[in-house]
Chains A and B, each alone.
Chain A
Amino acid sequence: MTVSVRPGHNAPTGSDDSAPGTSRRRFLGFLVAGPTLVAASQIAVETANPTPAAANVPTGPEPGDLYDLGQLQVLATKVTSNLITVEVHKDGTVSFAVPRAEVGQGITTTMAMLIADEMDIPIHRVHVTLSKARPEFQFNQLTGGSNSVRSLYAPVRHAAAIARKRLVDTAAARWRVDASTLTVKDGVIHASDGRSATYGSLTKAAAASRPLPMTADLKPTDHLRLVGKSHNRIDAHEIVTGRKKFAMDHDVRGALPTMVCRPPTIKGTVKRVRNRAAVLKMPGITDVVTISTGVAVRGRTFGQCIDAVRALKVTWADGPVGHASDADIIAELHKNELPLAVPDVSPLAKTIDLAFTFCFASNSPLETGTAIADVRAKSAEVWACLKAPIVAQQAIADRVGMPLEAVTVHVVQGGGSFGRHLFHDTALEAAEISKKMRKPVKLMWHRTDDFRQGRVHPMATSRIRVTVQGDNVLTYEQRHTSVSTDFGHGFGDLVSSFAGTLPGFNFIGLAQTVFELSQNMPYEYGLTDQVLNEVDMDFVTGSMRNIYSPDVATARELMTDRLAREMGLDPYKFRRKFLKDDRGIAVLDRLAKAGDWGRKMPHGTAQGIALHAEYKGFCATLVELDCRPRTVKRKIEDAYTGPRVTKAITVVDVGLPINPRGLEAQMMGGMMDGIAVALTSSLHLRNGHFLEGSWDNYWYTRQWNVPPKLKVIVMPQTTNQPGGAGELGVASAKAAVACAYARATGRMPTKFPVNHDEPLGFDPLPTTPSVPQSPTNGLDKIY
């Protein structure tokens, strides 16, 4: 596959290998000492390459254009990425422990593709596991920011290339021929005279007895067979046969089911347990102990733990959120909103103000919080899905009072994350419980707790003021005011090391840094200023897939449609006119054509179009939304129907797509997320707790909300660097749905999700007991 750079194409922001032939392929790697070959690599440094603004009223590069969050992460990993290693075994298999968490984004498949391609071996011989927490990785063991492929693409290819070269050199030495005369196919090295040897037969001879630097060349991109072509997930067979193991599927000796009785308010604490002895006598129960977050029970089965949790009589102290409700939080946000500026523009310019509210949302995956912990007198072992396992290891060591080296943290594959597993809440609880009980525990959060007490996407408001004159947007100011987002998962280390060295940039606080680096303006809106202001209100918050962008972009795209109307332009044509980057225009054009933009739509239905740029990629979405009464009022038992997206198309350009099928999957998921947060799903805060306690309360997109027509188009390669993909689809999907809603109903939505203030469509579960009992009438519902 060759790089295609279109004529007149602006240099993509921040990428140094965008033009054909300039890719720096010779690099330095290492051999690590071992009985068989272990190859390691170091990362090459990305350089920033600011784009000169073009046309209309130029918008200068924002911090997010110069350095995006992903680049910061890549730079931060530079120091320790020589620890990325690839090991070749005597049976010809190659193993790689990736310092990341696999949570459904397909990272293990992507890594296997890169290694198989670089080494010329069949992909089924590449075994990718998840590395346990290794403090020596320092900042290079963090999964987030859609960054895994961006930060590992080069070092993994390097390590694989080093391994290949070493094996070929070993064969060349053995056969006394020039290495350049040898070829490799399917893990077998061939000499021109017919001699051959497998990688497996050479790995012992190729091994190093001490660390050894060596240079190698990466394969030219057009020699890669797998990269750039669709590949199915390497763990798919395991999944469809039920063999893929998640945390609770591991049998760790003695680790019995454990659950926690939690307070009726957020971050409430235990004052007194009134019937511990009685609960201890319940069937199957082995232990009942008070911990920092509630009362833990351990027993033979989870069902018996649920019984015990429900039987506990606990006196609680209220948490810091007290008995607040949504309205209180909105009022507090309004109080803290920074005033919008009065821009110094011509008196002939028109000012347009818009304001939006985004409600609390949940990133609870289908798999609830789970962890296994076995804490002994002088050592501790924990299994959990963790995106920042080093931070978890440190926190656990502190909690159990042991040195870091005494704690082993195994990273387990997760049943989704969406940002949740950046935190180690469950692993830490499990360690605390195991230590107090002096027994191994298999901790699982109840579904209801996972919504009510788990991490949440914070409530926020976003106000935008634009000034426009004639054909030009002169200024764009966006003030995003949010309940504070917790970034305590080790991100602070990354930023504090590097923020001071960024050009023209002051370290102004972690959340604001993330905001500044993740938000960029794809349109020429003149003087642009996007600022985040956070208010700490003691909620348990965290980053939810795409963090600020879905909210910020939705506000921006609604304003964009408003501006289009002001200038008498169609939303697609307006965006096309104002887009800064040719890659964005290409994506938008492709989308408008594929989605038949502008086709006549029945009354009560409409198309919506939106674009978002982040992680060095571009993503645009077109939806058709049906808001007609017969659709909105569909009756499905215990379900939310409402407006339905009947067609959804996303076009995505990530620079270098490594696995188009995997990329499509991420975009589809992002689209489902966007539909959910735009139309149906939120947490209602009432009296100090969130009401939602099941998937028939928290209405994430279900089959009856799914667009029957859905398509993802992956643009051909535009740069030499893979952009981030895991989160990219959410913002433009949410925004497109919002824009379609405005056009279909004639009313611009200003609160999200659109259904939040409708009469509650479910009966909230009680807060005491904290979890509901499982039904017993299952056999009445077979089909």
Chain B
Amino acid sequence: MPKHTFILNGKRVHVDCPDDVRVLWVLRDILSVHGPKYGCGLNVCKACTSHINGKAFNPCSVPISDIKTDDEITTIEGLADTVKGELHPMQEAWLEMDVAQCGYCQPGQIMAAVAKVKQAHAEGRKIGDKDFDEIRNICRCGTYHRIREAILAGAKKM
């Protein structure tokens, strides 16, 4: 069976599996990393949103063979380790605004939010309503309003 290796949440991992297994299943079913969630497997709901080399991506739609040896994948479990302090400012904002209801979408929401803020800042502007309208992550509990408030709060500290 083909062997794959990459860096996951700061540590190198090795996996034996066929090339076409999507990264989401490598993470969840083979490596038992359960932060990224399955909501559709179609790159629509964005519940699995994680980071690759600091950018947001959806592992449900990436075959493991597309991942290179030195690619760094970060899931929600590893987000806090990318900053000083116990939690990422976005996680802290999420706590302050009491965003989550069932919590299923929230790992993906937080990872997407971080990337969206970095994108806005890289373009030299503050994040706002126009950016929020572009976030495709579903929240079936309807926490969108608090997500927006949390992103604004988290962005101030990023």
Is B a genuine binding partner of A?
yes
User: Is B144 positioned at the interface, with any CB of A under 8 Å from its CB?
Assistant: yes
Query: What residue of chain B has the Cβ atom nearest to residue A666's Cβ?
Result: B101
Interface 1/0 per residue, B130-147 and A, CB below 8 Å: 001111111111111110
Tell whether, in the assembled complex, residue B62 and residue A779 are in contact, meaning their CB atoms are under 8 Å apart.
yes
Contact A415 B42 (CB under 8 A): no
Q: Which residue from chain A places its CB closest to the CB of B43 in the assembled complex?
A: A775
Contact with B along A276-301 (1 / 0, CB 8 A): 00000001100000000000000011
Nearest CB in chain B to that of A710: its residue: B145
Stretch of A232-240, A597-605, A715-723 lying at the B interface = A232-240
Q: A366-B139, A669-B101 are in contact. Are A248 and B95 (CB under 8 A)?
A: no
Contact of B10 with A by CB under 8 A: no
Once the chains bind, are B61 and A776 in contact (CB under 8 Å)?
A: yes
0/1 interface trace, chain A 177-188, chain B, CB 8 Å (1 if under)? 000000000000
Residue of B nearest to A771 (CB): B41
> Contacts A237-B95, A366-B140, A415-B104 known; A242 to B58 CB distance under 8 Å?
no
Report B-chain residues with C-beta under 8 Å of the C-beta of A105: 101
**Min C-beta distance of B82 to chain A, whole Å:** 13
Q: Which chain A residues numbered 667 to 698 have a C-beta less than 8 Å away from chain B?
A: 668-673, 694-696
The answer to whether A779 touches B66 (Cβ under 8 A) is yes
Query: Cβ of B87 < 8 Å from any Cβ of A?
Result: yes
Once bound together, how far apart are the Cα atoms of A239 and B143, in whole Å?
14
- CB <8 Å contact, B38 and A248: yes
Task: Return the contact of A239 from the options B42, B52, B100, B135 (Cβ within 8 A).
Answer: B100
Contact-residue bracket for chain B: 35 or more
Cross-chain contact B101 with A778 (CB below 8 angstroms): no
Q: Contacts A302-B38, A665-B98, A695-B40 given: A240-B141 contact, CB under 8 Å? A: no
Q: Which residues of B contact A244 (CB under 8 A)?
A: 103
A105→B141 CA distance, assembly (Å): 9
B129 CB contacts on chain A under 8 angstroms: 708
Contact A416 B104 (CB under 8 A): yes
Which residues of chain B have C-beta atoms less than 8 A from A779's C-beta?
Answer: 52, 57, 62, 66
Q: CB-CB < 8 A to B77: which residues of A?
A: 241-243
Given contacts A240-B87, A240-B100, A244-B103, contact A774 B140 (CB under 8 A): no
Given contacts A669-B142, A703-B133, contact A303 B39 (CB under 8 A): no
Contacting residues of chain B (71-127) with chain A, CB-CB under 8 angstroms: 75-77, 80, 87, 91, 94-95, 98-107, 110, 115-116, 119
Residues of A within 8 A of B142 (CB): 668-673, 701
Using C-beta atoms within 8 Å of the partner chain, give the interface range for chain A. Answer: 35 or more
Q: Does A700 lie within 8 Å of B140, measured CB to CB?
A: yes
Is A249 engaged at the interface, CB distance under 8 Å to the other chain? yes
Q: Assess whether B41 is in contact with A241, with CB atoms less than 8 Å apart.
A: no
What are the residues of chain A within 8 A of B30 when measuring CB–CB?
A: 300-301
A447 part of interface (Cβ distance < 8 Å): yes
Q: Could you say which residues of chain B place their CB within 8 Å of the CB of A367?
A: 37, 39, 102, 104
Residue with the highest number of chain A CB atoms closer than 10 Å, among B61, B105, B106: B61
| B32 contacts A251, C-beta separation under 8 Å | yes
In the complex formed, the residue of A with least CB distance to B134 is A703
In the bound assembly, the distance between CA atoms of A694 and B102 in angstroms comes to 20
Within the complex, what minimum Cβ distance (angstroms) separates B153 from chain A? 13
Q: Given A366-B140, A695-B45, A283–B18 Cβ distance below 8 Å?
A: yes
Asked if A447 and B40 make an inter-chain contact with CB atoms under 8 angstroms apart, the answer reads yes
Known: A668-B146, A779-B57. A235 touches B38 (CB 8 A): no
- Look across to chain B and name the residue whose beta carbon is closest to the beta carbon of A302: B25
Set of chain A residues within 8 Å of B103, measured between Cβ atoms: 104, 235, 238-239, 244, 415
- Cβ-defined partner of B143 (8 Å) among A251, A446, A668, A776: A668
> Are the CB atoms of A232 and B44 closer together than 8 Å?
no
Is A245 located at the chain interface by the 8 A CB criterion? yes
Proximity bits, B23-40, A CB within 8 Å = 1, else 0: 111101110101101111
Q: Does A348 contact B (CB under 8 A)?
A: no
List the A side residues contacting B21 at CB < 8 Å: 301, 303-304
Which residues of chain A are within 8 angstroms of B80 by Cβ–Cβ distance?
241
Flag if A301 contacts B25 (CB, 8 Å). Answer: yes
17 further A-B pairs in the complex, CB-CB below 8 A; given A695-B39, A778-B58: A103-B102, A235-B100, A243-B77, A248-B38, A301-B25, A365-B102, A416-B140, A447-B38, A665-B98, A665-B146, A669-B143, A694-B44, A704-B134, A774-B42, A775-B60, A778-B43, A783-B119
- Chain B residues packing against A (C-beta within 8 Å): 17-18, 20-26, 28-30, 32, 34-35, 37-45, 47, 52, 55-63, 66, 75-77, 80, 87, 91, 94-95, 98-107, 110, 115-116, 119, 129, 132-146, 148
- A-B contact list, 27 entries, CB within 8 Å: A104-B101, A235-B103, A236-B100, A240-B95, A241-B76, A257-B29, A300-B30, A302-B29, A302-B38, A304-B18, A364-B140, A366-B102, A368-B38, A415-B37, A415-B104, A416-B101, A416-B141, A447-B39, A668-B142, A672-B142, A672-B144, A696-B42, A700-B138, A701-B142, A774-B41, A776-B66, A782-B52
Chain A residues with a Cβ under 8 A of chain B: 103-106, 232-233, 235-246, 248-249, 251, 257, 283-284, 300-304, 306, 364-368, 413-416, 418, 444, 446-447, 636, 638, 661, 665, 668-673, 694-696, 700-704, 706-708, 710, 772, 774-779, 781-783
Chain A to chain B: the 10 pairs with minimum beta-carbon distance, closest first: A672-B142, A104-B102, A415-B104, A242-B35, A778-B61, A239-B103, A242-B76, A778-B62, A104-B101, A447-B40
